[in-house]
Chain A
C-alpha cells in the first residue's frame, strides 16, 4: 500500500475513532457522593478479589434481571471476617473462599435490563469491592461507586480504578455533580488503601 493510500486510511481511522468516542455511553443513577473514607465506613465488607464468573439471571419471583458475580477472595480488608467474625448467614468470608456479589441489571438471552451506574464485572479481573448486605447477599455500595478494578501502576505498585460513567452524585447540601467534577468521588485510588480507612473496620 502506498503512502497516499495509507494516509487516506489513516484519516478514515481518525474519523471512525472520533465517532466511537462520541458514542461512549453515560447515564443516570443518583447516589450519595461518598468519599473513600465514608465509603469504607459505610461498607459492611471490603475485599480484594478476582472475578471468576459474571452471569445475568432473573431474580427469583421478580421481574428483574440481576448480574451475579462470583469473586474469589484474595484479601479481606474490612468487615466481620477481617476480625474473625461471621456473615449474617453464618458463613465466613475468608481468603480463598468465593463470594457472590449481586448487581442490578444484566442480560439473559437477548433481553437486557440496563440500570445506569450498575457495575460490570469481567472474568479474570482483579477487583476491590466495598460491599453492603442486601436481601440476597452482597452488592457494591453505591453501584459502580463501590467497585474498583485493580491495575498495575508504576514501579511495581497498584492502583484501583472505578468506572463512574452512569452515576451522578448527590452531595450533603443537595447539589448533584457528575463524575469528573472536583466535588465528585475520585475515579482512581492509589493502593494500598490508607490505614485509617482500614482501621474503621477494626484492622
Chain B
C-alpha cells in the first residue's frame, strides 16, 4: 500500500520546487495540520523555559508507592486505588499495538523523599505526606494539595524521574463510590484518590492538560468526581503520541521535523503514518 501511495504522489511533487518562503510555510502548515488532526485536545508537557516536549527514553516505567499511604484510609484501598490508576494507563494500545513503554509495579517503599538523587538509582514515587509539618519541611505551600516533580534534561526534555506528592496532612483523600449522574453531589471536599492519581500519572507520562472535557487530562473536576478513573480516546491518543509504538519509535532528539510544535515530536511521525495507512 505504501508503494502504491508513493507511486501516485512522488513524481508530481519532485517536479515542482516551491519558493523558499512558501515551502517553509507549507511545511509548517503541514506540521500544524498533522499535530491538530489526532484530536487537537491533548497536549504534551514541556520544559519550562525552552518549551521542549518532555519524554521518557526508558521502555519500562517502574513506580513505587509510599508504604504508609493515606492516613485517611487504613484498609489498603488507597494504594490499591493508585495501582488501578497506573494499570489504567498501562492498558492503552495504539491501534492494537502496545505503546513504547511498559508500566511496572515496583512495590511499596519506605522512601518518602521526592526528587532526584544524583548518586543512586531513583524511584518514581507516589507519596502521601501525612502531616502538615512534613509538607512544610519541604518548603511547600500549605494550600497546595497535590504536586508533581518531573526531573529532566533541559537540553532535550528527557525525563529521568517523576514523583507525585499528596498533601495528606492538610487535605482529605478518599476512595469514593461509583455514582451515576442521577445521584446527588457528595458533600465535602474529599478527592477521590484514583480519580486524582489517574490524572497526575498522565502528567508523569508526559501529558499536559487537555481541552477535551471528557478527558482524564481535562483540568476541571466536579465534587466527588470519579470520571477521570477511566481514560477517554483523547487521553489514549495523547499517550500514543508521547510514547508511540515500537514500530514508530523516534530517535533521541527527533522532533519529527516539527520542533516548534510541542504536541508531538516523534509522535507526529506515528500520526502521519496512521493517517496515511490506517484511517479510512
Contact = CB atoms under 8 A, between A and B. Distances in A.
Interface stretch (B16-24, B84-92, B98-106, B270-278): B16-24
B47 interface: yes
B222 A139 contact: no
Interface string A122-139: 000000000010111101
A19 interface: yes
Contacts of B35: 19, 22
Nearest to A176: B221
A175 interface: yes
A107 B49 contact: yes
Interface in A88-124: 102, 104-105, 107, 110-117, 120
B145 A170 contact: yes
Interface stretch (B1-9, B62-70, B108-116, B233-241): B108-116
A174 B174 CA distance: 12
Contacts of B208: 25-28
Contact of A140 (B116, B136, B141): B141
A112 B145 contact: no
B138 interface: yes
Given A63-B114, A135-B137, A170-B191, A142 B143 contact: yes
B251 interface: no
B143 A25 contact: no
Contacts of B139: 59, 66, 102, 104, 134-137, 139
A42 interface: yes
A144 B61 CA distance: 30
B220 A111 contact: no
A170 B28 CA distance: 39
Nearest to A179: B219
B107 interface: no
A115 B149 contact: yes
A34 interface: yes
Interface string A3-28: 00100110110011011101111111
Interface residues of B, number: 71
Interface string A168-203: 101111111110010000000000000000000000
Contacts of B188: 174
Which of A107, A110, A116, A142 has most B Cβ within 10 Å?
A116
Interface residues of A: mostly helix, strand, loop or mixed?
A: mixed
B263 A22 contact: yes
B146 A30 contact: yes
Interface in B181-204: 185-186, 188-191, 196, 199-200, 203
Contact of B155 (A18, A110, A135): A110
B145 A31 contact: yes
Given A19-B32, A62-B113, A174 B224 contact: yes
A27 B203 contact: yes
B136 A134 contact: yes
B203 A25 contact: no
A139 B196 CA distance: 25
Nearest to B187: A173
A142 B141 CA distance: 6
B154 interface: yes
A28 B115 contact: no
B262 A22 contact: yes
Nearest to A146: B141
Contacts of B214: none
Contacts of A26: 43, 208-209, 219
A143 interface: yes
12 contacts: A19-B28, A19-B31, A31-B143, A110-B154, A111-B160, A112-B48, A113-B115, A116-B147, A141-B143, A142-B141, A170-B189, A174-B223
Given A65-B115, A174-B224, 10 more contacts: A20-B260, A25-B262, A26-B43, A42-B142, A64-B138, A112-B48, A116-B45, A135-B137, A143-B141, A178-B209
Interface of B: 19, 21-22, 24-25, 28-29, 31-32, 35-36, 43, 45-49, 51, 54, 113-117, 122, 136-155, 160, 171, 185-186, 188-191, 196, 199-200, 203, 208-209, 219-225, 258, 260-263
